[in-house]
Each structure stands twice: as structure tokens, then as C-alpha cells.
Amino acid sequence: MTTIDVAIDDYLHTIVRTRPWTKKREEELLEGFSAWLQAQPAPPINMNEIGPALADQYAATVPLSKAEHTELLGALNHLFMWSVHTAMVQHNPFATVAA
């Protein structure tokens, strides 16, 4: 089972070469989300445990602005699209919620 930290690291290593203009912002968003997950009492760190409800909970807790929340959903969508492509996960739970 792939953890979100491993997926984020692998994904960021890929986009630094393919989409360097998005790497800094996506790294900031994804690492903030991951750090928040790690701080939870029973952290859901496996990729198959991550979904839009957790992103919404994070956005409300931190709190994120509506624009930042939308950016986070987009970054998670990109992460999961890449994870499906590399067979780390079977489906992208963010495909229908990301702008």
C-alpha cells in the first residue's frame, strides 16, 4: 500500500521536470495537507484512505480560503491522476470535485 508521503514525493519529482511552473505551489499545498494528516490521532496515510471529505475537513480546520481549497482539490486531483497512471491507486476520488 502506498502512503501519501511516498506518492507526493514521487509526484513532485516527476512534475519538477514536466511542469516546473506548478511544482512550488502544488508542493506547498500537498505538504501542508500531508502534515495535517500526520498530526491526526489516527492518521489516514494510505492513498486509498484519502478522499474529498478529508480535504474538506482540512480546509475547514486550517482554515483555507475558497480559492486555496479549490487549489488543494486541483493539486490532489493531479496527484491522484498521476497515481492512477503509475498504478499506485486504482481510481481518483478527486476527479469529480476538482475544477
In 3-state terms, what secondary structure has residue 23?
helix
CA-CA distances (angstroms) from residue 79 to 3, 18, 41, 42? 12, 14, 24, 22
Question: pLDDT tens across 23-57, in order?
Answer: 999 999 999 999 999 999 988 889 999 999 999 99
| pLDDT value of residue 59 | 97
Cell of 39: 498530526
Residue 1 has pLDDT above 90, yes or no: no
